[in-house]
Amino acid sequence: MRNRAKWFWLLALVLLVSCGGSGPSPSLGETPEIKGKVQNWSGSSGEVLAVNFGDQILGKGTIQSDGGFRVRLYSVARDLPNALAEISLSDSKETCSIHVSPSGVRWTLVSFLEGPEGEIVGLLNDPEAPDQFGQLIYVDSDVTIRSEGECYITWDLDLKAGWNWIVYTINDDGEVMESKYPSGLRWYLLH
């Protein structure tokens, strides 16, 4: 599980504008199946695990030699309640205010997929200099997270109980977390 520290700050902050326009919903339910194809896969087949930063397994599946994979995510509240932590957010900028409603909601996230060749992440742009990521977050009940003022991270999340897609963007003005389906998501093996 290499590169964990490097990717922790890029992906761990990821949490999740309501899904506007067309396209699939960012809300996936309790036990969705995630499918994809790893772009730079070199031919191994075997088991794929969805892992959080505590190294807890949040789902399992398989990957084929062509990089195609399927992973079934667990109902975390039912199957792994100890993997959940209460949402508690702060920002280093004094002008920032973050609102979580209702309070007491617990969450976890898939930090990466672990396959026989290493860690796999979902990117929405250049894999050589990524600044936009697709992320899977689980919440144990519906929750809204919003930020106001000048914040290091802009939060605009409407999450439904169960698994949700979010898009995490790093830009010149800071970082943005939005709950929306990650259109154009492509999976890559970390090197």
More confident position, 35 or 12: 35
pLDDT digits (tens, 9 = 90+) for 37-89: 999 899 899 999 999 988 999 999 999 999 999 999 999 999 999 999 999 99
Residue 126 has pLDDT above 80, yes or no: no
d(CA 181, CA 178): 9
Residue 3 has pLDDT above 50, yes or no: no
Residue 5 has pLDDT above 90, yes or no: no
CA Rg, the chain, in Å?
16
Q: What count of other Cβ atoms lies within 10 Å of the Cβ of residue 45?
A: 16
Of 173, 142, 170, 174, give the one whose Cα is nearest residue 157: 142
- What confidence score (pLDDT) does residue 129 get? 78
Cα separation values, 108 from 12, 14, 35, 68, 177, Å? 10, 10, 20, 25, 15
Average pLDDT over the chain, rounded to an integer: 87
Q: Give domain limits for the chain.
A: 4-17+24-189
More confident position, 136 or 43: 136
Residue 2 has pLDDT above 80, yes or no: no
Our CA dihedral for 10, 131, 135, 18, rounded to 10 degrees, sits at 120
- What confidence score (pLDDT) does residue 172 get? 84
